Amino acid sequence: MRKMLKLLLRKRAVTPVISSVILTGAVVAVSFVVLSWTQYRSSAYNEQYGDAMDADIAQLKERLTFEYTFYNGTQDNLLVYLMNSGTIDNVTIQTVYVKNSTWFKTFSESDFDLKFFNETSTPSLDVGEEGYFVLSSLDDLVADTSYSVRVITKRGSTFDQAFIA
Amino acid sequence: MIANSKGFSAVIGTVFMVLVMMFLSTSVFLWTLSQNTLYNQELKEKNQVELDRLNERVTASSVNYTGSAGTISVQVELENNGASAVHITTLWVMDATVKKYGFNDTLDLNLKPGNKTYLTGENAVDVNIAGANATDTLNSWFVTTRGNNVPLEKDQSVIVAQLAQGIGSLAMDFSSFKYYEVTGKQLGSPQSGFSIPGDIPIVFSMYLTNLDEHYTKVNLTALSLLWLYPAAGAKTAKFPIAKVVNQTLATFDFQILEFGKPTKLFFGTDKTTAGNVKGTLCAANLLLYGKIGADDYGQNIPFVSVYVQS
């Protein structure tokens, strides 16, 4: 009992112990901060990479078939009939180009109205669905000249079809 | 040296750090690898889909356009020559004459490998095109679910049709020229029509094929008849066109002859005989009258001789 009391009352070497404890605590704390930061960074990378991969996969699944492209010379408009022959739903058309080697015109999403064959408007086409849109104000197309229409989807896929004006 | 614990904590710390780093980098690496595997898997599936699409082999032949006043009826023979099943969704018809087009997207045709289907008669596909006629220059194609377009091919029968225009759109199969003895309204068994009994009611039959150049349907009216007349004498025998259902005479209304489809026609009633021309060799004329499309049509097929027994 006496020995124990004596040991407790001895104050020599207390400082190094305290400093060691503080140092160890600081090192452990910093390690955990570094660990959680590294984990955060790696999961952010994973998420980014996953999103990019999902987008690539979705793009791979997209396929639009041109059923018919009809240029109406009297009304100066182009009717494009499409079918979603891919394996993914919600194919949305973002931009359409009409062009040939010397001329081109761009149509954004707001310039045309995608519709089903029964005239109902739709923002996108699901698998197997057919739809069409009309591109108007194509009065500068030259008759009997070859043009191509390029459809770009929101996922970034492009599909081309040639037609004669 | 083993008992010397100096620097031991540094070693443990380093090992711990290395383990943590390895754990993190391995998890990131494996996750990236799994994502790449997913992508590759999808790429393989995409390739398979493209391969299936490229391997689709459907032929659409024996095309026949009929109809008018804006409704074109397309008759066609479809055959799946590929190795995979095909689903056909839409038929497009483009009329180059009036520069208009139409489609029928209500098709739901499934063709197994090797299967053949005939879209003729009631199964013909109707497409509405304002102002179009079957005689216009028409181009058409089917669209499959995989995204292939199958053009409709006109076969060489058009040459036969053009030849037939020299004598008329309807051709007769002479080997099918038969007669039936009639008991009540019931027909007996068929016998060669080139020699017939003179004093009992008979009904003639033969196959006619519509080979119209423009593939238009012919609709025969009740005025059509088979006429027997001998080389000498004013007496003749007439056998009006008839309808026979299940070997029994029925009331005649009309007779449609579709392009390219041999159709059996009957002439006579339960009372018609060749008694007027007994014991003579007669010329037999098929006097056919009706409509071809929306227009009137008449044709006389005169190439049969019939001996009427006394």
pLDDT at B158 over 60: no
Size of interface A-B (CB pairs under 8 A): 63
**Extents of the domains making up chain A:** 2-60, 62-164
pLDDT tens-digit map of A64-89: 999 999 998 888 899 999 999 998 99
Tell me the CATH class for B159-308.
mainly beta
| CATH of B58-155 among 3.40.50.2300, 2.60.40.10, 1.20.1300.10, 1.25.10.10 | 2.60.40.10
Q: How far apart are CA B214 and CA B206, in angstroms?
A: 23
Determine contact, residues A84/A93, Cβ cutoff 8 Å.
no
pLDDT tens-digit map of B199-239: 899 999 999 888 887 778 899 999 999 999 998 878 899 99
For B117, the token pair is: 């289907």
For B11, the token pair is: 């070693």
Of B32, B42, B145, which has the smallest distance from its Cβ to A57's Cβ? B42
**Extents of the domains making up chain B:** 1-54, 58-155, 159-308
Determine contact, residues A81/B149, Cβ cutoff 8 Å.
no
How many angstroms away from the CA of A60 is the closest CA of chain B? 7
How many angstroms away from the CA of A10 is the closest CA of chain B? 25
Chain B, nearest residue to A61 by Cα = B46
Q: How far apart are CA B41 and CA B228, in angstroms?
A: 77
Topology agreement, domain B58-155 and domain B159-308? yes
Give the per-residue pLDDT at A5.
76
Give the architecture-level CATH label for domain A62-164: Sandwich (2.60)
Q: Tokens 């001789």 label which residue?
A: B305
pLDDT tens-digit map of A96-126: 999 888 888 899 988 889 999 988 999 999 9
